[in-house]
Each structure stands twice: as structure tokens, then as C-alpha cells.
Amino acid sequence: MTFFEQYATFAVLVIVGCVLYAVIMLVNRVMRPSVPSPQKLTTYECGVESVGTGWSQMNIRYYVFAFLFVIFDVEAIFLFPWAVVFGELDATTQPSMMFALVAMFLFIGTLLEGLAYAWKKGVLKWE
């Protein structure tokens, strides 16, 4: 199989997937019952009647805290494949064991620098 045949196979799979998705959504829209009523159009939240408007202002600190969690979670996910590859490296492989070690320390150092900056700014204080 040539290089372009592999991309053609992938393109056909993407097109088939998109068409299948469109057909399923169309069949769903045609077959579902549609009986709107005022009670069905009200806001429903966990079995409790809603009071007031649905808009409320959130503290930006929650989003920053969640963003920091995602960053460090992704870092932890990157460490596992790196450790597997690092265990197979020796002096004869490319890249060398030392290059891989320095690259990971630079990666972790960059993230620790970001954590120190967030700590200094007081982002991690939960009030």
C-alpha cells in the first residue's frame, strides 16, 4: 500500500463516519415524537424546581484551578510512555539516554516554573 492509498483509506473512513452520523441524526429527528408543552419547556435541574434566572457569576479562580489540574494531569500521562521508552534506551540508541533525561527534566522544570508562578500570584488559595 502506498503512502497516498493509506490517506485515501482514512479519508473514506472519515466520509463514511460523517454520512453515518448524519443519517442517524436524520432518522432520529424523523422518528421522535414532538409534543411540546409549557411544562416540558421549563428548566429542570436534579429534581428541584428552578428559582430565579439561570445565569450566575462564577469566580475565575475555579477555571484557573481546573486548568492547572488538566495541565498537570497531562504531564502525568506523558511520563508513562516516556518511562517505557527511557527503559529501552542505551548508549547506542538515538536519541541517547542522556538526551531523553535532559528533555524530561526541561519539561518538568517548565511545568514547575508555571506552578511557582501560579503559587506566587495566589491562584492556588481556595477561599
Rounded CA separation 113/119 (Å) = 10
The per-residue pLDDT for 45 is 67
**pLDDT tens readout for residues 2-43:** 877 889 999 999 999 999 999 999 999 999 988 888 877 777
The per-residue pLDDT for 54 is 66
* CA distances for 59 relative to 66, 71, 96, 100, 116, angstroms: 12, 20, 46, 40, 21
> What's the average model confidence in pLDDT over 84-89?
85
Residue 43 Rama label (left phi>0; alpha psi -120 to 50; beta): beta
- Identify which has the larger pLDDT, 49 or 9: 9
**pLDDT tens readout for residues 112-126:** 898 898 889 888 777
**pLDDT tens readout for residues 87-100:** 888 878 888 888 88
Query: For residues 40 and 72, is the Cβ–Cβ distance under 8 A?
Result: no
Domain boundaries, the chain: 1-33, 60-121
